[in-house]
Structure 1
Amino acid sequence: MGAEDDLLVAVHDAHADALYRYVARRTGDGEEARDVVQETLLRAWRHPEVLQRSDDGVRAWLFTTARNLVIDDLRSARRRREYAAESPPEQSRADETQAVLDSWVVADALMSLSPDHRAMVVGAYYGGRSVTELAHEHGVPIGTAKSRLHYGLRALRLALQEKGVTS
């Protein structure tokens, strides 16, 4: 190490703790305070003439430089547009575009069914009702409900194939 490096180590030992406390009070953030102190000492190292001043002169230069760095950061575009958060404001989700498009295709295919077939398919698959429940709901025998559901599903499969959906 050279004489300037020794001088910088001496400046660090004499002023770094007080400088850290000063910056931490101004920023309220320990990590940011460490970064500002590091940048301040780096600037002192780049300007060795500062290290030749009296101890009070070096201290004043360090605190002024740190203060200016804090003010510059507060005025920066990053500070105005970015906000620190403990956790992301929302969890990322998978792209649901394909699911939406698929639901449109299915809805369009369902519209091509007869009302009786559509009622059975929608009731069974979207309503979660059994064939017996559907039969009672629509006032038809259970065999008729089964038949409408069977033929409704066949018609739905054909309608989806016509729309380019493969089985």
Structure 2
Amino acid sequence: MVREDHARLTALYDAHAAPVWRYVVSLTGDHAGADDVVQETLLRAWRSPRIMNDDPGSLRSWMFTVARNLVIDEARSARRRHELAVDEVPDAGRDDDTDAMFDALLVEEALSTLTPDHRAVIVSAYYGGRSVAQTAEELGIPAGTVKSRLHYAVRALRLALQERGVTR
């Protein structure tokens, strides 16, 4: 039985694969896709004993109809609509920076509510990455004053952010 099935499938392929493939390529212009459609068409014909027993002309006509329907189904499929062929593989995706941008705007707005002295120590120490001694030297004030201003500036900044909906 297996040899008989193999012989039938081989005969079916030899008689009809090339014309069906050319037909599918003329419909789609896709050589690789045509191979898949021909394979599915031959498989459907082989699985349908009634079709296999028809005369060769009606069998080929049936196969062209099946192939055309497979091409139409593929064109209508969701997979086809969402896939785009590209010449080059795109670069790896990167994270969206929108949240970081909004956070930065929010902090900038909150910083603008601080007094100039408090804002200066925050910017120098936290954003400038300077130590208390370096901040004191840069601003020309004692280190103790820098510590005090940082303490009150952070409290004021926290309050300003809470007023804008930022919660801890």
TM norm structure 2: 0.62
Matched with 1:40 is: 41
* 1:42 Cα offset (Å): 1.8
Matched with 1:93 is: 95
* Segment of structure 1 superposing worse, 88-97 or 8-17: 88-97
* 1:120 Cα offset (Å): 4.1
RMSD: 4.0
2:95 partner letter = R
Contact 1:51 1:58 survives alignment (8 Å)? yes
Does residue 23 of the first structure (1) align with residue 39 of the second (2)?
Answer: no
State percent identity of aligned pairs.
41
1:85 partner letter = A
* 1:66 Cα offset (Å): 0.6
Encode CA deviations 1:115-155: one digit per residue, 9 max, x unaligned.
222134336655789859x65xxxxxx336x7765444333
Does residue 116 of the first structure (1) align with residue 117 of the second (2)?
Answer: yes
Matched with 1:143 is: 141
Contact 1:121 1:149 survives alignment (8 Å)? no
Aligned counterparts of 1:62 and 1:158: Cα–Cα separation in 2:
78
Runs of 5+ unmatched residues, structure 1: 136-141
Contact 1:44 1:51 survives alignment (8 Å)? yes
* Structure 1 pair 25–39 and aligned structure 2 pair: CA distance change class (3 A): same
Aligned counterparts of 1:29 and 1:149: Cα–Cα separation in 2:
71
Per the alignment, in what secondary structure is the counterpart of residue 93 of structure 2? coil
Aligned counterparts of 1:120 and 1:54: Cα–Cα separation in 2:
92
Runs of 5+ unmatched residues, structure 2: none
* 1:60 Cα offset (Å): 2.3
Encode CA deviations 1:45-87: one digit per residue, 9 max, x unaligned.
221222223333322222221122212333x252674232334
Aligned counterparts of 1:10 and 1:156: Cα–Cα separation in 2:
87
Aligned counterparts of 1:105 and 1:159: Cα–Cα separation in 2:
14
* Structure 1 pair 80–37 and aligned structure 2 pair: CA distance change class (3 A): closer
Contact 1:116 1:148 survives alignment (8 Å)? no
Matched with 1:139 is: none
Aligned length: 156
TM norm structure 1: 0.63
* Structure 1 pair 151–108 and aligned structure 2 pair: CA distance change class (3 A): farther
Aligned counterparts of 1:82 and 1:34: Cα–Cα separation in 2:
22
* Structure 1 pair 151–107 and aligned structure 2 pair: CA distance change class (3 A): farther
Does residue 155 of the first structure (1) align with residue 152 of the second (2)?
Answer: yes
* Structure 1 pair 143–95 and aligned structure 2 pair: CA distance change class (3 A): closer
* Structure 1 pair 156–10 and aligned structure 2 pair: CA distance change class (3 A): farther
